Amino acid sequence: MNRDSGHFMMQDQAGTLIRVHVQPRASKTELAGVHEGCLKIRLTAPPVEGKANKECIRFLSKLFNLPKSSIVILQGRKSRHKTFLLRDLEVRQAESVILQKGVC
């Protein structure tokens, strides 16, 4: 990690690292602000057989306009707290998207 940018995003050589807190089995998949220093995402999928992870990757892909193959779970596959790598995305671009959504 080269540069800290906010509570939950950091620049890395490969792209942006983003810490996420997921809430599975929500009524709607959506951004839900910041929770414990992480971007909070509510997911309709249950935390079973990787379904929540897949839905989270789909959601991040759509949010940041990236192919799903550019999003990698680095930590927390079986946890609510996860760290994702968003390949080839500058942290300032990610910040811009988050700000447009009114999260920060």
Whether residue 88 is contained in a domain is answered as no
Instruction: Provide φ and ψ at 48, rounded to 5°.
Output: -125, 135
pLDDT of 6 above 70? no
Whether residue 14 is contained in a domain is answered as yes
For the segment 65-99, what is each residue's pLDDT rounded down to a tens digit? 999 999 999 999 999 999 999 999 999 999 999 99
Query: Coil, helix or strand for 100?
Result: helix
Whether residue 62 is contained in a domain is answered as yes
Domain of residue 25: give its range: 3-81
For residues 87 and 81, the answer to whether their CB atoms sit within 8 Å is no
Rounded Cα–Cα distance for residues 67 and 48 (Å) = 23
Model pTM score: 0.90
User: How many domains does the chain divide into?
Assistant: 1
Tell me the sheet residues that pair with 10.
4, 17
* CATH classification at residue 37: 3.30.1200.10
